[in-house]
Chains A and B, each alone.
Chain A
Amino acid sequence: MIIARKKPIEEILSDIAPYDRILILGCNECVTVCEAGGKKEVEVLASALSLYHLNRRDKKTFGEMTLERQCDREYLEEIRPVQDDWDAVLSLACGVGVQFTAETFPKLPLLPGVDTICLGANEDRGLWTERCQACGSCVLAKTAGICPVSRCAKRLLNGPCGGSANGKCELGADTNCAWQLIVDRLKALDRMADYETVAPIKDWSTDRAGGPRTVTREGIQI
C-alpha cells in the first residue's frame, strides 16, 4: 500500500493560515491502514487545530469528512454539494488523492496534510517499510522475490557492491543489504545458479525516466 506520514502540525498551521473554513478530508484506503489520514486521524487533527485556534480566539472552523477513496471521481463527488461551505480542503490522502481532489474542484484550494513516503508493507505495529518503487518492469522473478530497485540504495541489478558487510548495507546498521538478502534466499531456494546470470541493462523508460506513466486497459473501457 501507499505509506504516508502525518505532517508536523506547525507546517499545517502555516499552510492553513490564510483560510477561515477548512474541511479536513480523510481517505478510507491506504492512509487509513497506515494510520496517517483515515477517519480517526481526521478527528484528532481537527480537534488539535480547533484547540490551537480556540486558545487564540481565532475564528477558524474545521469540518471533518472521510471519503472511500480520493483517487476515484465517483467518491470525490460527495464533496460537490458542500464545496461552497469551505475556503480550503486539507486532504490527508496520499499525493494522488490530493491532486485528484484538486483536479476535480478547480476553484477549491487544496493543501496536503501528510507526506507520501513510499509503497510499503506493515512490518510491525507502527512500522512500515518500503518494498516497491513502481519501476514499471518487475525483476522479482530473477531476484528471489526481493526487490533490489527499492531495497538497494544503489538500485544495483548485479550486486552486492563493495560496501556490503555482515549482511548490512553501507548506509548503516539499520539497513539490511538487499543483495545479501537475495543471495541468502537464492541459497535457501537452491537457485544459486541464477546468481551467476548477469542481469541485462534494465529499461528505465518504464520508470520515472520516461515521464508520467499511464495504464490503458481497453477491454474494460466503455
Chain B
Amino acid sequence: MTENPAPGTPEPRIVAFCCKYCAYAAADLAGSMRLSYPADLKIIQVPCTGRIDVIHMLKALEEGADGVMLAGCLEGECHFLAGNLKAKARVGQVKKILTEIKMDPGRVEMFNLSSAMGARFAEIATEMAERIRGLGPSPVPKKPKKAAAA
C-alpha cells in the first residue's frame, strides 16, 4: 500500500526507467493485480536499462525529479546479456557525481526484478518513494508541471 503523505507534503517526483522485458511488464502486472504504488512515479519504458546513460539520469534530476530509479532484469537474465550490468555501473557513476556536487547519492538507485514480480514492483516503487521522502525534495528549483497532452 502507498503510504499517505502528511498533508502538504508533495509526493516525491520519481522517474523510473523500466526495461520492457521485465520491470515494465512487472509494473503492468502490479496494475492488473490492483496493487497500488506511489502516484508520482513516472515510468519510462526502455528496450533495455543498458540504454540509459549517465546523462539521462542527470537530466532527469536537472529537470526537477527528486529521484531516479532504473529497474532492469535480474542479474544474469538480461535480454541483451549485460545491459543491466552496464546500467548498474552507470548508476554507480551518477552516485559518485552526485556526491561530488554535494547531492545525496541515494537519489538514484538500480533495482532488478523479473516480469512475474508485480508485487515486488509495487514494493520497490514504495521503497524508493519512502527513501526520497526521507531525503526531502530535490534542491533543484521545480519547473511547473507540464499539462498533459490532450
Contacts and interface: CB of A to CB of B under 8 A. Distances in A.
Interface of A: 8-10, 40, 43-44, 47-52, 54-55, 57
22 contacts: A9-B97, A9-B100, A9-B101, A40-B53, A43-B55, A44-B54, A44-B55, A47-B58, A47-B62, A48-B58, A48-B97, A48-B101, A49-B101, A50-B62, A51-B61, A51-B101, A52-B101, A52-B102, A54-B62, A54-B140, A55-B101, A57-B141
Nearest to A8: B100
B105 to A, nearest CB: 13
Interface in B50-87: 53-55, 58-59, 61-62
B135 interface: no
B5 interface: no
Contacts of B97: 9, 44, 48
A47 B59 contact: yes
A51 B55 contact: no
Nearest to B140: A54
Nearest to B64: A54
A44 B58 CA distance: 7
B100 A10 contact: yes
Contacts of A10: 100
Contacts of A50: 62
B139 interface: yes
Contacts of B139: 54-55
A126 to B, nearest CB: 9
Nearest to A9: B100
A160 B59 CA distance: 52
B103 interface: yes
6 residue pairs, one from A and one from B, having the closest CB atoms: A47-B58, A52-B101, A9-B100, A55-B139, A54-B140, A43-B55
Tell me which of B62, B101, B141 has the highest count of chain A C-beta atoms within 10 A of its own C-beta: B101
Contact of A51 (B53, B54, B103): B103
A55 B58 contact: no
Contacts of A51: 58, 61-62, 101, 103, 140
A10 B61 CA distance: 19
A50 B139 CA distance: 12
Contacts of A43: 55
A189 B68 CA distance: 56
Interface string B115-150: 000000000000000000000000111000000000
Given A51-B140, A55-B102, A55-B140, 12 more contacts: A9-B101, A40-B55, A44-B54, A44-B58, A47-B62, A48-B58, A48-B97, A48-B100, A52-B102, A54-B139, A54-B141, A55-B139
A42 to B, nearest CB: 10
A8 B101 CA distance: 10
A48 B28 CA distance: 33
A90 B55 CA distance: 19
Nearest to A53: B101
Contacts of B100: 8-10, 48
A218 B97 CA distance: 48
A8 B99 CA distance: 11
Contacts of A44: 54-55, 58, 97
B97 to A, nearest CB: 5
